[in-house]
Every structure is written in structure tokens, then in C-alpha cells.
Structure 1
């Protein structure tokens, strides 16, 4: 073997070895691609996917699909070839890993946050949907979480509605915080809460905050809670998390508790966060979600107004409808059902 042949052979082997290493080394990115859609009017094991008890419900027709993004799992890593493939393929994105999964946060913590976001989204969606249907909904400052070992641990519970502090009515989260801050460190604070429909009183002693030794804390996180008569159960795959299905949950609740058939046999998909008053917010992965809806046969897609800039140049046969509120979504779907008025519905162009 000549010197030149030997050199070429060694170079080839080194190149192949280097290419193999590069192809296996993980890169600090994650991939987004079109995910599954879920028809909220579909039965699961013989039971409604959105199950409402305690109020009259009505038949629905058609499909109302929440949409998802398939994302690299928190416990998986993307290789360079996979990242490049996702970058070049349509309806896919590659994002810095820390933009999706913050550094220093464990897999369990991320999954718990996603599950909590889903729970909050469903609660707000039920409130928005029932309100739009004319049902009574009452807001309370609510205990969302209690820190282990804190003064409130074992006394206050997640889901408690706080109605009074020291026998004074508190109706907002800010009012609860001001009432706690009005005490001295070491002073007893009397909470009156609604728990499982019953009123209870708990006395909690404030301790010094880590950031301000003169400021008392009791170890609770607060959120807006909603009280209403019906019971609503969502049968959704536990692997689906986050807040972006809020709009679709609210539409499902509204359509089920109102006599008119809003979806009326159509295949409607969409996305968007929602608040208890029906405000629709932006989400991530809008193009991937539209691609997933298109693959599932949807003909209408509800786009949060704040995401319209992301889809203005998108080519799709699906009718994109711009919405800022649940009320706008309801009106748009009614208007689209009549060919004489359908052209008046605003899109994202």
C-alpha cells in the first residue's frame, strides 16, 4: 500500500468516525412538529370527553378539536441531524432548549407545571363558557398551592376559596395579600374559607419573608377561583398539558349547555389561552397546530388575534378566523354557518 493510499484510508476512517460522533452528540435544541388533535365531542370509553352534570345539556354535531404540538420530551435529546431535519421540513420549528425547558428545573417540576397549567386552563374555560351561556359564576381568591412545612401547611388546602381574613371580606388576590401584609411577623391571621361547599376557619401565624424580615408570609400561592353549580369533568390524555386549549374547552362547555348547535356538523379546530372573562391569549406553535388540524380534516381554525402575525403568509385550505374573545369566536361560528354572511368573518390576512 502506498503512502498516499494509506493516508486516504486513514482519512476516510477518521471522517466516518467523526461523522458518527457528530450524528450522536445531542445539541441544545428541541423540535416542534404538528401534534395530535382531540375531538372534544367524542366519547371516551363510552363516556363524554366533556362531561357536564348539574345543568341541562343538549346534543351537538360535528367535531370541535383542540390542537397540540409534538415537542421533544424533556427527558430526551435532539441530535444534530434531527435538528437540521426539523429546521428544513415545513410546519416544524427548532428552538433553543432553554426557551422551552428552563435550566435547573427538573423533569418532574416541568411536568407538574404543565399539569397545573392545564388545570387552571380548564377552570377558567368552564367559568368563561358558563358565563357566556348565562350561568352564574362567582370569583374568589383561591389557594392554589401550600408550601410544605409552611405555617399554612395542614391548615389551608389547595382549592380553598378565601372569603374573609380577620372577619373582613376579601374578594381579590390583592386584597388577600394586603390583609396578610397588614399583620406583624408572628401575629395570628384568621382565614375564613369555603372548602367543599362548607365554611371553615383556620388560624395561621405569619413568619418572616426570606426577602424582608419584617414582612409576614404564610406559605400559600394564590389564583383566581370560580364557583358554579354544574360539575364539569374533562377526560383528556394526561400527556397533554399547558394552557393553550382553553378556548376550545370553553366552546365545548358553551355548546353543550346551550340549545343551539353551534358547531352544526362542521369540523372546527383552534387554540388559545383563556381567562375567566373570556379573553383569548396567544400560544406557541401556531403553524404546527394548523398543520395538525388540516391533517385531521378541519375546515375552520380559530386563531388568537395575537398570533395572526405568525400566520399571515401561511398557505392552507383551512379557513383561519381571528378571535380576541370567546364571544367573538361564538359569533364568528354562527356567522360562518350562513353562506350569505360567511364572507364578513375576519381572518388574519
Structure 2
């Protein structure tokens, strides 16, 4: 007797068990009906449990970046060595809750998110590259937040009239490379082989002008002290004819005083740039830019103050409204999305930081007189 026939005779077949359960629950029914119902139940269970290639965005928390630091004493915007001024209102950073990289969305959950207000369902590939781990996603989000904070500091200082100088910085050193132990991230690069360096491209070109195995004299400023170090060159892994020292250089900025943020490290991504720059400007200029109001803002920011588009606008609008925001500053690049949102919260588009400051400097302007998406 085959195993299949044995299972059928003893009632251990999955289909027999399913139809028998249905008959116990719903009473006698024809075999065809019972089998069809069992098939439906099994299919429904599969659809409920099998993951679908989508993720959701939902409203996240908001944070007052003019308030207290996330942990420890002090404020969320931490400034020393510069004159600061008191503030009264709030600048609200908005966030979005997103399906984690190591989680999977089921069909019922995706459908529920699709129909619920202020939520979005997106193809998983639009948010995570194939194979992305949660650790990689977290590291990338942290990197983007770090860049947003640095750009916000520069933009905010410039708008407040604090002088900012563009310089060439060491932004990374490869472990085990010739530069490891000789150069450090944050060093200001001032000279290569005794010749002043003006840009990162200039510094890279001077190093590449050497032969593999030759040494390079690198002059840097570290904590305000000039240091000259000798760094040997080695062959680049992708081109044995190209010399490298294992240091990455990029644009950096020097300015009076120090500025930092006591923001919860769990908040990541680039979209906090605008609100952080506004907070820096408000702390460094007389008067209260918020006018005592709760102001929400979102948008990436460049060091020159340019505001860029963001994702998850519907969810952020819901968060801003729940926080009691009087208005919500958004990137003009998100206007197409904003026009389709039905909300009483004024959504004010801006192209740059100065436009945002100008809007907030006129607190008595009626909503109808504010910039809007058309």
C-alpha cells in the first residue's frame, strides 16, 4: 500500500482534514462544496501569510528642534562660541514610519494601509535596494542625517550672517592604508608637496601626479595646529598605475564657534535639513522667527540654502497637524503631491531657506497671502 493511499484511508490527507473540519463547523454538505470551501480557506490563508513586495509609509512622531536635547542636558540645537538669542515657539521636525528592511508586508496589511488615510504603499524596490539588510539601511539613514545636519549648520550660519569659509577636508581614511595613523577625518588639507591646495579636485590631482611608491608631503590643520606628514603612495586596487594614499578628501567648512544637534539618533534620513537650518538661524538672530507659533517644516537642504524634495509628504502632513502646527513649510518640488491632499493645514512651498525665513518673518500675513501650490 502506498503512503498516499494509507494517508487517504486513515483520514490524514490535508484535504480530508479540511473538509471534515468544515462539515463539523457548518454541517453536512456535498463533497464538491466542501472541497471548494476548503480550497478557498487554504487560498485565503496563503494570501494572508505570504509577503508581498511592498512597504508602507505612515505618520511618525514630530520633534521640537528648539526644545530640549533628546538625552542629557541642554537644547536640541547646541551652539557655543557665538551669540545666541531666546526663542519662544516651536520648529517641528516631522518623521515617517516605514516598514523595516528586515520585515515583510502581508497582503491584508498592504490593503489596509492603502485604504487608511495619510498612509502610502510603495514598491519595496522604491525604498530598499534588493538584498538590503536592516543594518545597512540604518547606516545609510544615519549617514544621510549626518550630511543633512552639516549642510543645515552651514546654511543656517550663512543666513544668520556668520562667516563661513569653504575648505578642503579629509573626510575619510581607509583602515590599513598609508594614510591610516597619519591623517584623520576632519583634518583641513592646506598643502601637497609644499604647494597650497584650493579644492578637493586639486588635491587629488597632485597626489595622482606622483608615481606609485613615491611619498607625498601633506600639510594639514588639526585643531588649529599646522602639521606636515609624509605619506607613501600605493597602487590603487582598480588601477595599478594610479597612486593612492588611502584618504578621501571633500569640501568642508570653517566658521567661528561650534554648532551641533542633540537629536534622537534613531531619527535618520535627509529630510530634516530645512527645519534644522531654520532652528540654527533662529537661535543666532534677534527676535523669534516662529512668532510664538508651532511651525512644521520638511525638506532637504544644501549648504547654499537650496531646499529639495522629500518622500512621505502625506504622512508628514498628518504628523504636523497632530502636533498643532500653524503652517507646514514644504519643498516646492512636492507641490504636485501637495495639491492632491485635502487638509486645512496651510502647506507653504519654498525653494530655499531665505524664502522660508521671509514667510515666517511676516506672521500677520493671512493664509491666503502666503505662497501656495497651484
TM-score by length of 2: 0.86
Aligned to 2:282: 255
Q: Could you tell me which of 297, 307, 331 is aligned with 2:334? A: 307
The answer to whether the 8 Å contact 1:92/1:288 transfers is yes
Q: Which moved more, 1:250-259 or 1:23-32?
A: 23-32
Aligned to 1:39: 64
3-state secondary structure, aligned to 1:293: helix
Which runs of 5 or more structure 1 residues have no equivalent in the other structure?
none
3-state secondary structure, aligned to 1:48: coil
Q: Which moved more, 1:101-110 or 1:55-64?
A: 101-110
The answer to whether the 8 Å contact 1:50/1:233 transfers is yes
Q: Could you tell me which of 5, 19, 37 is aligned with 1:12? A: 37
Task: Tell me: CA distance 1:194–1:109, structure 2 relative to 1, closer, same or farther (3 Å).
Answer: farther
Q: CA deviation at 1:195?
A: 2.1
The answer to whether the 8 Å contact 2:271/2:310 transfers is yes
2:53 equivalent to 1:28: yes
CA RMSD of the aligned region, Å? 2.2
Task: Tell me: CA distance 1:5–1:91, structure 2 relative to 1, closer, same or farther (3 Å).
Answer: same
Aligned to 1:231: 258
Aligned to 2:183: 156
Q: Which moved more, 1:213-222 or 1:249-258?
A: 213-222
Q: CA deviation at 1:39?
A: 0.7
Q: Which moved more, 1:93-102 or 1:262-271?
A: 93-102
- Pairwise mapping of residues 1-349 of structure 1 onto structure 2 (< 5 A)? 5-44=30-69, 46-335=73-362, 337-339=363-365, 343-349=368-374
- Please give the alpha-carbon distance, in whole angstroms, between the structure 1 residues aligned to 2:229 and 2:345: 54
Task: Tell me: CA distance 1:227–1:19, structure 2 relative to 1, closer, same or farther (3 Å).
Answer: same
Task: Tell me: CA distance 1:120–1:13, structure 2 relative to 1, closer, same or farther (3 Å).
Answer: same
- Please give the alpha-carbon distance, in whole angstroms, between the structure 1 residues aligned to 2:137 and 2:168: 25
Q: Which moved more, 1:254-263 or 1:178-187?
A: 178-187
The answer to whether the 8 Å contact 1:123/1:226 transfers is no
Q: CA deviation at 1:326?
A: 0.9
1:285-323 alpha-carbon deviations (Å, 9 max, x no partner): 122212211121112111112222221222211112121
Aligned to 2:15: none
How many corresponding residue pairs? 347
The answer to whether the 8 Å contact 2:89/2:288 transfers is no
Q: CA deviation at 1:264?
A: 1.2
- Please give the alpha-carbon distance, in whole angstroms, between the structure 2 residues aligned to 1:201 and 1:104: 43
Which runs of 5 or more structure 2 residues have no equivalent in the other structure?
1-22
